[in-house]
Amino acid sequence: MDESDTAAILPGDVLGATSEDNRQPDSCDGHKREEEDAAAPTTNVLRPTLTCSLPVTVEPVLFLAMFSVALQAPLSTQYLWDRISEDLGYNGTKTSECSNSSVPPDPLQKEVETLTAHWNLYISLGGFSVGLLVVPLLGSWSDLAGRRLVLIIPNFGLALQAVVYLVVMYLKLPVVYFLLGRLLSGLSGDFNAVLAGCFSYVADISDRRSRTFRVAVLEACLGLSGMLASIIGGQWRRAQGYINPFWLVLATNLAAALYAYLFVRESVLPDPSAKLLTARHHKAVWHLYSTGGRSNESGGRLHRCRLWLYTLCFFLVVTVHFGSRELYVLYELSSPLCWGSALIGYGSAAQHLAYLSSLLGLKIMQRCLEDSWVALMGLASNITGLVVFSVADTTQLMFTGYGLCFLFMAATPVLRSKLSKLVDPSEQGVLFASVACVESLCFLVGSSIFNSLYPAALHFMKGFPFLFAAIILLIPAGIIGTLQCLDQRRDRTESTMSS
């Protein structure tokens, strides 16, 4: 099938979409504005038969999928530690930097830590490398075959991974089988495919004005489910071990797939002739970033540059989020803070509550500010919080940093929304699949850089990684501000010429 057969779905032609000029969110009669019908192309437009909007669409799918991932990630790491300790005959506990003990570190403990870190790295790299090939394939395919399949298939893959992990735990198989489960999940697209499918779906059903907030709601689902999983996972493992929580992981993934199958209405009318296994889908990613996509077929380097610049901003912001997040607990456990589990739990809760405060702040600020200025406010909140973290030597100062970060998640939904508005409606799947792959790369890069920088900075400034993160965020802030100023200047010029 060549490019002329591609289904182009207009924002106003999809489930739940509304006009910016005449919104009727409760209307289920399927009528479209006359302006949209006149502007719609006469060919290559497929319209879904269901157009009744729902207040909740793919949010439960993302919530459940994120819950399963957030629940199993720390548990699998702890299981690796326990299994490797058992295999090596180590039965000690990790020593704290705040301990007054002068006993030298146990070399067996160092070996357990090293092997656990290595296996974590192998498992993450295995899932990332397979997903890097599969996720763009599924994302581009969803532009033709529909979004629901891309919400169902990866959740079954995550469920299969949970089954493999359960078998390993029941039979006490070698930990290498964890890598097998991760690879099987990667072949189905893994959690990144769920991300791509959910954000693509929201882009399909929202108009340009409401898209940023709908994306922010999905971001808030990620934070809330992560917080809930963190609270449940640790307590449950201490009470009942590893196996029962992983049964919940399996049930959650199956529930997400079942919800997508039963309740999520298709936003793209499926093309029966769409093929999954074809190089055309990967070429669509190349075409998107090399030419700016179909919305830029008339030419123009500025459009393509904006796509790259906003992707760069997203990469830097998310890399800082992932990288700094891994240091919070280590920073709090060690001197001079020496927090216990209770304070660490409160700190984690404060960090996750920022997802809700960011959502609320974004909704309020959108009433009087452009999206770009909202993103800059979010970056300013994040930067000030990181600067406070870099010098925090008391509990009060640490929680002050958490308080200042109350808008730190306002930038990423704005960037996702801006990227979505730059591409053609028929390219939302390939765009968000690419963004999901970038997000995986952010995790690897952020984890590598900040976990290497932290021990290197201990001898001159323990909080330097947080200060470094704040400096990095100045780059996307400058890019976003510059692009917004250029847009405003262009708008003033056009209005002057038209008058």
pLDDT tens for 375-417 read 999 999 999 999 999 999 999 999 999 999 999 999 999 999 9
Sorted by where each begins, the domain ranges of the chain are 10-17+54-92+107-268, 295-494
Least confident of 40-54, 188-202, 427-441: 40-54
**Topology given in CATH for the domain delimited by 10-17+54-92+107-268:** Growth Hormone; Chain: A; (1.20.1250)
Q: Using the predicted structure, report yes or no on whether residue 89 has a pLDDT greater than 60.
A: yes
Overall pTM > 0.85: no
pLDDT at site 20: 36
pLDDT at site 418: 94
Q: Using the predicted structure, report yes or no on whether residue 42 has a pLDDT greater than 70.
A: no
Least confident of 4-13, 86-95, 135-144, 415-424: 4-13
What SS3 string covers the chain? CCHHHCCCCCHHHCCCCCCCCCCCCCCCCCCCCHHHHHHCCCCCCCCCCCCCCCCCCCHHHHHHHHHHHHHHHHHHHHHHHHHHHHHHCCCCCCCCCCCCCCCCCCHHHHHHHHHHHHHHHHHHHHHHHHHHHHHHHHHHHHHHHCCHHHHHHHHHHHHHHHHHHHHHHHHCCCCHHHHHHHHHHHHCCHHHHHHHHHHHHHHHHCCCCCHHHHHHHHHHHHHHHHHHHHHHHHHHHHHHCCHHHHHHHHHHHHHHHHHHHHHCCCCCCCCCCCCCCCCHHHHHHHHHHHHCCHHHCCCCHHHHHHHHHHHHHHHHHHHHHHHHHHHHHHHHHCCCCCCCHHHHHHHHHHHHHHHHHHHHHHHHHCCCCCHHHHHHHHHHHHHHHHHHHHHCCCHHHHHHHHHHCCCCCCHHHHHHHHHHHHCCHHHHHHHHHHHHHHHHHHHHHHHHHHHHHHHHHCCCCCCHHHHHHHHHHHHHHHHHHHHHHHHHHHHHHHHHHHC
* Between residues 181 and 100, the one the model is more confident about: 181
Q: Using the predicted structure, report yes or no on whether residue 49 has a pLDDT greater than 50.
A: no
Confidence class for position 300, pLDDT limits 50, 70, 90: low
Average pLDDT value for residue range 130-135: 89
pLDDT at site 105: 59
Q: Which CATH superfamily is domain 295-494 in?
A: MFS general substrate transporter like domains (1.20.1250.20)
Confidence class for position 295, pLDDT limits 50, 70, 90: low
pLDDT at site 271: 80
Confidence class for position 234, pLDDT limits 50, 70, 90: confident
**Does 295-494 match 10-17+54-92+107-268 at the fold level?**
yes
